Structure 1
Amino acid sequence: MNCRLGCGACCIAPSITSVIPGMPNGKPAGIRCVQLSDKNLCLLFGSPSRPDVCSEFTPSIDVCGTSDEQALWLITELESSTC
């Protein structure tokens, strides 16, 4: 599965504990990454400053569903079940 451009769910729903440029302490779950553009595109895509956890994310139907809304819901549910 390929990412749906403009989805952004993986940059909003999960917590990220790695340093992100502009977010030195990472980001809490449910908060937009500061590196997510208004069009929900990663501004660090392809950059060495992009956190490994972001670069290593692999979209799948189980995590991303079939719509942006479903992806946000699924990733939020996964995040809350692992806390």
Structure 2
Amino acid sequence: MECRSGCAACCIAPSISSPIPGMPDGKPAGVACIQLDERLGCRLFGQPTRPAVCDGFPAQADVCGESREQALWLIGELERLTI
């Protein structure tokens, strides 16, 4: 599965505890990563400064669902279940 253009659910819904350039303390769940551009694309994609946790989050049907809204809900639900 390929990432949906303009989705960015994986850059918004989950918390990230590792440092991100511009967010040295990571980010809380539900907060957009500072590295998202105006099209909801990652400015760090393919760069060595992209956090390993981001590289390790592949697009999968059971996480991404059939729409951006489903992806935000599914990833948010996974976040809530792992707290």
Task: Name stretches of at least 5 consecutive residues in structure 1 with no aligned partner.
Answer: none
**Aligned twin of 2:80:** 80
Query: Cα RMSD between the aligned structures?
Result: 0.6
Q: How many residues align?
A: 83
TM-score by length of 2: 0.97
State the identity as a percent. Answer: 64
| 4+ residue runs over 6 A deviation | none
TM-score by length of 1: 0.97
1:3 aligns with 2:3: yes
How much does 1:76 deviate? 0.4
How much does 1:59 deviate? 0.9
Q: After superposition, what is the alpha-carbon deviation per residue over 1:28-81, rounded to whole angstroms, capped at 9, x for unaligned?
A: 000000001121100000011100010111111100001011100100000000
Matched position secondary structure for 2:7: coil
